[in-house]
Structure 1
Amino acid sequence: MPDGKEKIDRRRRPPRVALIVLGGVAVLAALLWAAWALTPLPGDTRPVDPLAAPVSGESNTTARDHGSSVQLNQVPDHVVRAVLAAEAAAPAPEPGVTMEGLARGVWFALTGRSTGDFAMSQRMAAGQHPEDRSFPRRVADLAVAAKAGLSRSPEWVLERYLNVLDLGGGSRGLQAGARAFFGKDVQDLSVAEGAYLAAAIRRTDPAGDAAAEPAANLRAGWRAVIDSMHRQGTLTAPQAAAQRFPATRLAAAGVSVPSGGARPRIVAATGPAAARTAVTSTPEKAAKAAKPASATNAAKAAKPVAPRKGARRARQNCPPGSIICLENELPGNPPSEWDVIGAGSPDIQGYPTQISVNHGDTINFKINTPATDYRLDIYRFGWYGGLGARLITTLQPSVPLPQTQPDCASDPATGLVDCGTWAVSASWAVPATAVTGVYEAKLVREDGTPGDSQILFVVRDDQRSSEVLFKTSDTTWQAYNRYGGNSLYFGQPANRAYKVSYNRPITTRGVSNGPPNYFFNSEYPMLRWIERNAFDVGYISSIDAVVRPGLLLGHDALLSVGHDEYWSEEMRDNVAAARDDGVNVAFFSANEVFWKTRWEPSIDGADTPFRTMTCYKETLANAKIDPSPQWTGTWRDPRFSPPSNGGRPENQLTGTLFIINGVVNDAIQVPSQYAAMRLWRNTSIANLQPGQVATLSSGTLGFEWDNQPDNSVAPPGLARYSSTTLSYTNKVLLDFGSTYGAGTATHHLTLYRQPSGGGLVFGAGTIQWPWGLDAVHDRDGAPIDIRIQQATVNLFADFGLQPATLQTDLVPATQSTDTAPPTSALTAPLSGATVVTGKTVTISGTAADTGGGVVAGVEVSTDNGTSWQAATGFGPWQFTWVPQTAGNTTLLVRAVDDIGNLQTTLDSRPVTVVGSCPCSLWPSTTVPAVLAQPDSRSVEVGVKFQASQEGAILGIRFYKGAGNTGTHIGNLWTSTGQLLARATFTNETDTGWQQVDFPAPIQVTPGTTYVASYFAPAGHYALNQDYFTTARVNGPLTAPTSTAAGGNGVYRYGSGTAFPTSTFRSSNYWVDVSFSPTNLFPSTSVPAVVNGTDANAVTLGVRFQSLVPGTIRGIRFYKGAQNTGTHIGTLWTNAGAKLASATFTNETASGWQEVIFSTPVRITPNTTYVASYNTLVGHFSYNQNFFTTQYNNPPLIGLASGVQGNGVYRYTSQNLFPTATFKASNYWVDVVFDAD
């Protein structure tokens, strides 16, 4: 260790290091002064535009073209702010060299190594000569930076910096970067693209290397710029959250980074369009190139790649950032190049190993063909000036040809055919700049044998949330796909398969009735029109809606288009969740969400998930045959759920419900009462006069369509925009999904708004709405309907969607700002009114909208809001109600406007419903689903039923349809087949309800099962299958479920009338009875006080009325054990005139006693009578305060105790008319009544 003296000596040495530093500083200062004096400030900067530079032959570098610069006022403000956010500094107030910056600059000038960040003026100066990093240049740059910072404005510094900043990839300056990365001028950059360029700036070192940044770093840097712009107030939080990482064009231009770290070079790019269509080389393509080429291939390979025309025109005609507009301005290809006949040639077929692919990823194709040479032309479908598709690139197979494929795997038990056993034949590395869409790989033989076919797939853009998302109906394509011999409609094991695979070529377009179920019938014309008008659209497949639910969120609208029939649990739940999250949904479809499916992996040995679609169609089997606990029948079928998970009608989501089976090609009708709806603004429909009806193009109501039932799951506030009622002989769905027959149905265009911030849901209820948008589609159709085009523009505007290039013959539409719901009120019946079961009641009222819209629907509830039904009319409105159940209820009304705003403050009125008998299971307003089943065999059909109280069956009823001719005989049977009564129908009408009365009423026992039937010698009976899966209850009558009754309804084929015992599918054959209760009180009633303590002789009675004409046959009373002796029953007028009297005989010790008059007494409806009995010993039964309210057992009514009082009594041993009352007491006196 040195000693202290050594230390002292060292301190006394001359400070040589300090002198050296001071000398260096002096020299540097002199140099700076000289540089200051001698170095001029840059007057103009010239950026590098690599896309405009020719490729240097061998070097991996680009010959630079120091061409166009950009002025500050040409740079959008959001781009400038993005650069400033990335720099985390502003050019003012100190854009030049601060003391800290000067120190860093001095260090960099001396050493060539940077530390920390630099002022913007320093980076501007360094950017003038990026290749020269010599010591003199570094000193000169420092002088220029200081001089610029002190003598020039911040804007001057910023403008020059923007023209020299290093963006990587050989690009310097914003203009060069905008062209290199995005193929557009800087003034056309979006916020996200500006942030991308800002993130690419080399900020640490003014002489830093501009080698390609790793993608993850660029994405992180881009997000940091967006976040910084939000913190600085340039972007709001929603705007920042909505930004999506932009796709650049360098990958499509063939940028490769050579080994050794050289800069990227453009492999083959003669312009923006060429860059867009270039394809990065793959190992498969290299292998293909290495094999001996045919003469044809050699000729093709030798052909020069010509630049695509139209890209410059696109930038001129399209709004900045409109991806779809820019894409469709590129030149397209005619159908003669991209289309095929039917499903194409059977000797060259293939499929994609995934139905969709994100751009930037690779998609594989498996192809089965004996061809020794073929190609794959990749097209994107769109408008393209009406040509319908654009050639993107051409691929060659990646394997030696011919390629022999193994047999497809199969499962005979389910009919599954899975061609996943095939090997990959070709691949496409989808460029990151590929525009999302529906694509086609057209397979074309080139070995001298003609042959071609199509492979359809979807290219997604998972990084960007388009305004509207188009979901393809590929599950339906596959359901109808017969490749391999089976589909969900054809083949084995049950004349249909239970499972179908996505690992198959799709030949749906080439089979009978196949084209309506494929892409080119409805999806294609919808796609053409959307892209023609350049809506901001993205595309996904149905499988994406299952496995990638996040892709459904963040859009203004989601579209279901065409024949969208097959939906799994996941897809329905995910779409509903998107709707609940505020995404608007448009169902330009019908028969949608009809069959419930589930997903399984492939059986090719790879177990690829979501490649097998399973649907046992258990509704057709009328049984739970799928081994999975999941239901795979129709969504609406409730018969086996629980424990399964069916029984959820599709209109709960869509607003509409499938009803008319195809193929039909009818037209939507819009009566004048719908003319004022928002949907029809700026169309001729808006000018309809009262009584007029507009008919849209033929085929727009087809090839299948929906109705809009008021079932228990119908969305609240369903607005209707049209009304078309049509009848068919064999097209109407009659059950849960198995039977079609004759009937009438009504179609409406609908819309509802999901509550609590959810989205709007539009239901076209027809598969072929797109036929009105564009006339190019499979199958013949009518011309374009401009009313449908304008209505779609209007609807999209209310979804928040605007076209970038609207057709010139359409009118721009704006989004509704109406948030106020309409109002409605009840005017009839009066509050507190009494109505009668089985009798028609007209509920009416008014409705109005003052919030800027019009009333588009009125809904009425007759059960305290449990269920709602649509009323008729929008201003004055009315609703026909036939009460079914006696009791107190509240009538409610609500209105909805034409943008889905639903009234929440409801008008209400309480009413009392009293029963009315004679009564039946079904009111006369009920109409069967099938009026006349096309079965001409003679048959006895019937129904099992019970009564809940004493009464009599007066006769038999049935519904008669056309063809149900001949003599009909009505029968009443015990449950074991004993005939109780029979009568022949007379004076029948041609159709409708018929009734015959028995010669005398037949008393029935409560809770006992009977059978009512009629004989139809010509068949053609009315029918609803699967009706008695639930019980039918109306007042005292019940038709039990088929399960509870051991089968209901019943039938028996034969030449004559006979007891029916057979059943089929719980069918209702619409047989009924006419029933009348015979008493005021059921025989199960027991008084509160059975043996009163009053032992005086007394006459006790009840005041009553009948709602219908009939006869009183006798008197009843309840007897306690102490109420002994002789009892006399009497019927009086309300004034005290005796009408009939009889002495009770054969009484029991207690309970209900009954005596029958020698002659029945006819009574007048709604007239008060008094029934009484006399006891000499008292001890009568009673309930006090019973008649404080009216007692109803229609048709008999026990009057409430009012002015005259009820019940009545009189102390007497002489059986005199009772007039006194006490505490509204019920003394349990009754009558035996027969209604007429």
Structure 2
Amino acid sequence: MFVATVSLILPFGWAPLVSAAENCGPGANRIVCENSKPGSPYTEWEIEGAGDESIQGFATDISVNAGNRIDFKVDTDAADYDIDIYRTGYYGGLGARQVGSVDPGAALPQKQPECLWDASTELTDCGNWAVSAGWDVPADAVSGVYLAKLTRKDTGGASHITFVVRNDGVKSDVLFQTSDTTWHAYNNYGGSNFYQGGANTRAYKISYNRPFATRGGIEARDFYFGAEYPMVRFMERNGYDVTYFSNVDTHRHGDQLTNHKTFLSVGHDEYWSGQQRENVEKARDAGVNLQFLTGNEAYWRVRYEKSPADPAGNDYRTLVSYKETWSDRKIDPAAEWTGTWRDPRFASPANGGGKPENALSGTAYVVNFGDLPVTVNDREGDLRLWRGTNLTNLAAGAEEPLAPHTVGYESNEDLDNGFRPAGLIHLSTTTGQVPEYLQDFGNVVAPGETTHHLTLYKAASGALVFSAGSIQWTWGLDDWHDGDGAAPDPRMQQAQVNLFADMGVQPGTLQPGLVAAQASQDSTPPTVAVTSKPSAAVAHGQKVTIKGTASDGSGSTAGKVAGVEYSLDAGATWSLAEGTTSWSFTYVQQGMGQNTVLVRGIDDSANYPASGTPITVDVTGPYSVFGTNTPETADAGTRSQSNWDCGSPPPPTAW
């Protein structure tokens, strides 16, 4: 069901539009200009679910650069139908604006042939359909997520074709990446997707040459209108200078990422290719800030192939993931690994295995289903993310839940797995019971307890990397989306404004009730002092506790101590200590002779020293292999019928 509160539907809830002429002069913010134009009522552009089955279509590419043509392929028995083009945005609360119309160019009715079907991979490819119409995108079209609404003139039955308009070469503050690989991963058009199917129990290959059926049921939460659309509305309402990209574009046009200050991954962004991840890592290392307003991101590794229905076409119409983690072996005939990114059992990092997603985003997926609120305690409320909110005045020992459902439906944790980014800090803490908690590299879930954090770290380039660690973070920013929700939370909205500001991005039309924020002027890391350490030599394998304090100076630009971390391997990896201004950590001492432990503080601007304060510990025998450590059990890949992830039921046959 499409959820919209009364204030977003009735005229008295609409924000007044300023004349477009006032906002569209030379050098004007394109988003402010665009959203000052009259929008279209949602009753005009919206549809029910995935639309009428008797009129369905798709675009011949997931995105198109402004000034080029995009073609549509439509299957229908209608003797006549309309194609109206809408750009989604805010538009005073209406949510979209009609920007054009095109007529079908094919003889009608146009019943298309049966889609191609490959039984071995369960690939459904409708690339053999004929072109029905095309839209010549104006050269001055504003980048965005667009809808081609197909409407039968006889019955009024309608459906959407969803695609992205790019503005290649344009510099903007923000680049919003859609989660289109995930839209198709859950798209069951033709009978199979990455979660269900026939003999294989799932498809190994899925095609972009298909209409989207993803919005037709529970999978609606895995489509654009689930958690991406509310972020689009929030950004465009507030006049952020944003352009749009698809997952495919991040793979094939990675050189465009450095045209922008901040890159966004939003909603349910589960399926990433190797080149896509490499391009985002390169952008971060070149100074582009990253916001992962998502959960379960970059979890499955994918690759692309040409469409067998159109081998002369582009290279990005077939999405491949054999989900080899589920098979507990390498089954993809290509050398590339297409299991979970974190699984190291059957592929080296060079081929895509054993690279957990938290090495990039800071957090990693663990909760397959949960429903909790982002929660902030009194210490976290004093951190700069929450400036301008009442969270800065929480009583000692208090904690405040924010908007419901904002830690879910899938969510991440900060995992100390050897890939944790240096300098990672926690900005919230939500603890609760969940019915489905991941037990291994991607096979088994069971009930458990999660501790979720919003996180932030600063890369060596100076780029900030934020992780919301939840698919539904954006539900706290705008309440017009598919799925159950609640009113937007002004504190989460303010936090989003603050986060953008710290990444050098300012709004053009800040909504009432929010306050402007400025980037941090703090560049000085905290200092630490050791108050307690072993006073004599310790035995190899003995538990050691070290304690101390941390402070972040004084003055108008001074921040708050947000975390303290320690390293046992000369700074190769870092773990988080307990506490901030007063801290401690316990570890099992290994080695012999004189050993050095490093400790350092991190402030709420993510500043930390390059190295750390050295602490010397003398180690003596006797020596044993494990000492007081309990050896961990490796993932055996055990399979059960609870081993599916991300909201789809298990296939009808047993795993």
TM-score (norm 2): 0.91
Do 1:734 and 1:1025's aligned partners in 2 also have CA atoms closer than 8 Å? no
Distance in 2, Cα, partners of 1:771 & 1:873: 30
- State the Cα distance separating 1:922 from its structure 2 match: 7.9
Aligned: 1:834 with 2:537: yes
Aligned partner of 2:285 among 574, 580, 600: 580
CA–CA separation in structure 2 for the residues paired with 1:621 and 1:797: 45
1:862 corresponds to which of 556, 568, 579: 568
C-alpha distance after superposition, 1:1069-1113 (max 9, x if no partner): xxxxxxxxxxxxxxxxxxxxxxxxxxxxxxxxxxxxxxxxxxxxx
Say if 1:561 and 1:616 are closer, same or farther in 2 by CA, change over 3 A: same
Matched residues in 2 for 1:758 and 1:849: separation? Answer: 19
Matched, 1:844 2:554: no
How far did 1:866 drift? Answer: 3.5
Match of 2:160 in 1: 454
1:598-637 pair list within 5 angstroms: 598-608=303-313, 609-637=315-343
Alignment correspondent of 1:364: 71
Structure 1 residue corresponding to 2:29, chosen from 305, 314, 322: 322
Listed one character per residue, the Cα deviations across residues 221-271 of structure 1 (whole Å, up to 9, x for unaligned) are xxxxxxxxxxxxxxxxxxxxxxxxxxxxxxxxxxxxxxxxxxxxxxxxxxx
- Conserved 8 A contact 2:542-2:627: no
TM-score of the two chains, using structure 1 as the length reference: 0.49
Counterparts of 2:114 and 2:467 in 1: how far apart (Å)? 43
Match of 1:1113 in 2: none
* SS class of match (2:326): helix
Contact 2:374–2:407 (CA<8 Å) still a contact in 1? yes
Shift of 1:805: 0.5
The answer on whether the counterparts of 2:528 and 2:550 sit within 8 Å (CA) in structure 1 is: yes
**Which residue is 1:467 aligned to?**
173
Match of 1:595 in 2: 300
Displacement of 1:316: 3.0
Counterpart secondary structure, 1:509? helix
Partner of 1:345: 52
String of CA shifts for 1:1150-1197, please: whole Å, max 9, x gaps: xxxxxxxxxxxxxxxxxxxxxxxxxxxxxxxxxxxxxxxxxxxxxxxx
- TM-superposed CA distance for 1:519, in Å, is 0.6
For residues 732 and 692 of structure 1, the distance between their equivalents in structure 2, rounded to whole angstroms, comes to: 27
Q: Tell me the CA shift for residue 927 of structure 1.
A: 11
Matched, 1:560 2:169: no
Task: Work out which of the two has the higher radius of gyration on C-alpha atoms and give 1 or 2.
Answer: 1
Task: Provide closer, same or farther for how the CA distance between residues 442 and 830 of structure 1 changes in structure 2, counting only shifts above 3 A.
Answer: same
Quote the offset at 1:863 in angstroms: 3.5
- Out of 489, 502, 517, the residue aligned to residue 785 of structure 1 is 489
Counterparts of 1:341 and 1:631, CA distance in 2: 38
For residues 878 and 584 of structure 1, what CA distance do their matches in structure 2 show?
31
Q: 2: distance between equivalents of 1:585 and 1:508?
A: 27
Cα displacement string for residues 264-286 of structure 1 (whole angstroms, at most 9, x for unaligned residues): xxxxxxxxxxxxxxxxxxxxxxx
1:811 match: secondary structure: coil
**Residue 413 in 1 paired to residue 120 in 2?**
yes
> 1:863–1:889: 8 Å Cα contact kept in structure 2?
no
User: Does the 8 Å contact 1:415/1:497 carry over to 2?
Assistant: yes
8 Å contact kept, 1:826–1:908: no
- Whole-Å Cα distance in 1 between the matches of residues 543 and 394 of structure 2? 33
Q: Secondary structure at the match of 2:224?
A: coil
Q: Secondary structure at the match of 1:467?
A: strand
Counterparts of 2:76 and 2:353, CA distance in 1: 42
Contact 1:830 1:909 in 2 (8 A): no
TM-superposed CA distance for 1:543, in Å, is: 0.6
Q: Which structure's residues are more often strand, by fraction? A: 2
**Structure 1: distance between partners of 2:262 and 2:119:** 42
1:672 and 1:421, CA in 2 relative to 1: closer, same or farther beyond 3 A? Answer: same
SS of 1:714's equivalent? coil
State the aligned residue count.
618
Going from structure 1 to structure 2, the CA distance change for 1:318 and 1:877 (only over 3 Å counts) comes to farther
Residue 767 of structure 1 pairs with residue 471 of structure 2: yes
- The within-5 A match list for 1:739-778 is 739-755=444-460, 757-778=461-482
Name stretches of at least 5 consecutive residues in structure 2 with no aligned partner.
1-15, 640-655
Classify the secondary structure of the residue corresponding to 2:92: helix
Give the AA of the match of 2:278.
D
Which structure: greater helix fraction? Answer: 1
- Do 1:556 and 1:584's aligned partners in 2 also have CA atoms closer than 8 Å? yes
Structure 2 Cα separation of the partners of residues 315 and 693 of structure 1: 47
Shift of 1:433: 1.5
Counterpart residue identity of residue 290, structure 2 = V
Of all paired residues, the percent bearing the same amino acid is 49
Task: Flag the 1:745–1:885 CA change in 2: closer, same or farther, 3 A.
Answer: farther
Q: Deviations over 1:822-878 (max 9, x none)?
A: 2223222146x3224554322111111126211111101234334321001110111
Q: Distance in 2 between matches of 1:913 and 1:738?
A: 40
For the structure 1 residues 912 and 312, does the alpha-carbon distance in structure 2 shift closer, same or farther, using more than 3 Å as the test?
closer
1:540 paired residue number: 245
Matched-pair contact (CA < 8 Å) for 1:557–1:799: yes
- 1:611-643: CA deviation from partner (whole Å, max 9, x where unpaired): 111000000000000001100000000001237
Picking from 353, 356, 362, the partner of 1:649 is 356
Amino acid at match of 1:625: I
**Contact 2:169–2:259 (CA under 8 A) maintained in structure 1:** no
Is the alpha carbon distance of 1:895 and 1:404 closer, same or farther for their aligned partners in structure 2, counting shifts above 3 Å?
same
User: 2:22 is matched by which residue type in structure 1?
Assistant: Q
Q: Name the aligned partner's letter for residue 368 of structure 2.
A: N
**CA deviation after TM superposition for structure 1 residue 819, in Å:** 1.6
Q: CA deviation at 1:818?
A: 1.6
Kindly indicate whether the alpha-carbon contact (under 8 Å) linking 2:372 and 2:432 is maintained by their aligned counterparts in 1.
no
CA distance in 2, matches of 1:797, 1:312: 25
Task: Determine whether 1:550 maps to 2:159.
Answer: no
Q: Which has the higher contact order (CA 8 A, sep 6+)?
A: 2
Contact 1:885 1:915 in 2 (8 A): no
SS of 1:845's equivalent in the other structure is: strand
* 3-state SS of 1:521 partner: helix
**Aligned counterpart for 2:40 among listed residues 307, 320, 333:** 333
What residue in structure 1 maps to residue 600 of structure 2?
894
Corresponding residue of 2:512 = 808
- The equivalent residue for 1:276 is none
Going from structure 1 to structure 2, the CA distance change for 1:882 and 1:407 (only over 3 Å counts) comes to: same
State the shift of 1:451 in Å: 1.3
2-structure distance, mates of 1:328, 1:716: 40
Distance in 1, matches of 2:571 and 2:505, equals 35
> Which residue in the other structure is 1:402 paired with?
109
- Give distance in 2, aligned partners of 1:644 and 1:548: 21
Contact kept? 1:318, 1:804, Cα under 8 Å: no
Pair 1:665-2:371 in alignment: yes
- Residue 551 of structure 2 aligns with an amino acid whose one-letter code is A
CA distance in 2, matches of 1:318, 1:773: 26
